[in-house]
Structure 1
Amino acid sequence: MLIEELDSPALKVELADGVATLTMHVPSKRNALTPELYEGLARALAALQDNDACRAVLLTGGAHFCSGGDVGGLDVSGLVMRRNMQIGQQVVRTMIGGRLPVVAAVQGAAFGAGFSLAMASDFVFADANATFCAAFGRLGLTPDYGLLWSLPQRVSMGAAREILMLCDPIPATQARALGLVDVLTEAGQVLEQARERALRLAKAPPATIATTKAVLSRVPMSLDTMLAWEADTQSLLAASADFREGCAAFAERRPAVFLGR
């Protein structure tokens, strides 16, 4: 699928230098997850997994990252709600278990399902004005889009309980202290710095990134299972052209150029 075919009014998609930038674009609702937006995210993320020109994803939203579900336009009928959940879960499943590293650049609100999207990313960059909130309990709902799995990967279980049950807004500085945010930037610099990280990831050996993400999405696991995975994976990677390039670059004291072969 062509990149142009992934672009829509609700989701802007650009691919340059190995980085696909996905910009959520529903400004009238602070990028609430309308059906058009989460269907666009699901379609784009799935298509990019099969695009060899794409090596990393940068997820952002402009003035606001994502204010959560589109409560005003929410269809709560059973079958529709379940279908919507399945599409949203596919977005998170691809972000966490797919081959591409995902960098989130958060400005403004990352509430509810928007918070879930940020936590499903491999790296979270936040502007000084960003605010995070697991707002589900305010509506009488349970956390969704994988947040009950992803949040404890970043913070202690005690902190996760407090965040999920009290539903208090968390300013960027506190989010950084808790571990919700990897890099806290000055106002107006988050997109630039997040893109620098995505560009660095795009230059890394793709198979190494993909296999690392695959196993991290399955932890915890037993030591024996982990060691068996290491033996199988390392044997395959050692036969790759990228491994030979890495060895040659090390010997020649130059940056490696990994082609994903």
Structure 2
Amino acid sequence: MSDAVIVERDGPVALVRLNLPSKRNALVPELVMALTAVLDALAVDRCVRALVLTGNGGAFCAGGDMGSMDGDDPLGVTAMMRACQGIVRRLVSLPKPVVAAVEGAAFGAGFSIALACDLVVVEPGSRFCAAFGKVGLMPDLGLLWSLPQRVPMGRARELLMLCEVLGGEAALAERVADILAPEGGVLAAAMARAMRLADASPGTVAAVKSALAAWPQGLGELLRAEEVGQAMLMATADHGAARAAFFAKGTVRFEGR
């Protein structure tokens, strides 16, 4: 198993660390393969109820690997793009909440990966930039989808075209980020929020993520998704326990069943 990605456990929360600090956790093939394998394993691990994604060495993720961007090898570029896109697909479709703990830079595809998570925690020294234009490329890994969900379309155009850098405080003010932690406290804040999410109803979290992943859908499609999802959730043991606790004026511990 590659040490490009390290997984630590704290009860129901898995802490996933990108661990190529010499490359500022850029998306080199080794890291992409390791992170893909980790996400697949955690998706089916019933002991894990929430994830925190962060980067070692003072950077979240510096983005794509310039060394693998060979315009003379379009098939190779396409294969690498699809592998990287698989990470975003997994983060968005994972039936468990994912909190991004952004220390340092989340540039280019690193920005995309952070916004593919459900919540983004930053500190004042965090930095976001859709830096694609600086190397003559277009935003990728879903950033054209995820950023307009957080900021108005006009502002998204500016950030995507002008490569403006947002610090942690500005990211919070513009709702690119959700929580601002004190300097050095981003990981603790992210773990605390992940612990809260781990206590939530797993079925509810999965259903919300699934519905939002289809954004923007029409009202008709959304209502049909509600019909299917709600019927499935009402048949779960978690809902039965919560319903009994409601009438007994008690509390419930969700077990993911």
Normalising by structure 1, we get a TM-score of 0.93
Instruction: Establish whether residue 49 from structure 1 lines up as the match of residue 43 from structure 2.
Output: yes
- Displacement, 1:156? 0.6
Which of 211, 217, 242 is matched with 1:215 structurally?
A: 211
Aligned-partner SS, 1:68: coil
Aligned-partner SS, 2:204: helix
Please, which moves more after superposition, 151-160 or 50-59? Answer: 50-59
Deviations 1:193-244 (A, max 9, x none): 1011111111211111111100100022222222222122212211211012
Deviations 1:81-128 (A, max 9, x none): 111111110100111122121100001101011101111110000011
Instruction: Establish whether residue 95 from structure 1 lines up as the match of residue 91 from structure 2.
Output: yes
Work out the CA distance in 1 between the residues paired with 2:216 and 2:25: 33
Contact 2:103 2:186 in 1 (8 A): yes
Work out the CA distance in 2 between the residues paired with 1:126 and 1:99: 23
2:113 is aligned to 117
Please, which moves more after superposition, 50-59 or 182-191? Answer: 50-59
Matched ranges for 1:109-188 at <5 A? 109-188=105-184
Normalising by structure 2, we get a TM-score of 0.94
* Consecutive unaligned residues in structure 2, runs of 5 or more: none
1:29 is aligned to 23
Work out the CA distance in 1 between the residues paired with 2:28 and 2:188: 27
Work out the CA distance in 1 between the residues paired with 2:145 and 2:251: 37
- Displacement, 1:252? 4.1
Work out the CA distance in 1 between the residues paired with 2:191 and 2:123: 13
2:52 is aligned to 58
Which of 5, 14, 17 is matched with 1:20 structurally?
A: 14
Matched ranges for 1:190-229 at <5 A? 190-229=186-225
2:101 is aligned to 105
For the aligned residue pairs, the C-alpha RMSD in angstroms reads 1.4
2:230 is aligned to 234
Please, which moves more after superposition, 105-114 or 249-258? Answer: 249-258
What is the identity percentage for the equivalent residue pairs of Structure 1 and Structure 2? 46
Work out the CA distance in 2 between the residues paired with 1:11 and 1:255: 37
- Displacement, 1:249? 3.0
One-letter identity of the residue aligned with 2:217:
M
Work out the CA distance in 1 between the residues paired with 2:247 and 2:186: 36
Aligned-partner SS, 1:15: strand
Q: How many residues align?
A: 254
Contact 2:54 2:100 in 1 (8 A): yes
Aligned-partner SS, 1:188: coil
* Consecutive unaligned residues in structure 1, runs of 5 or more: none
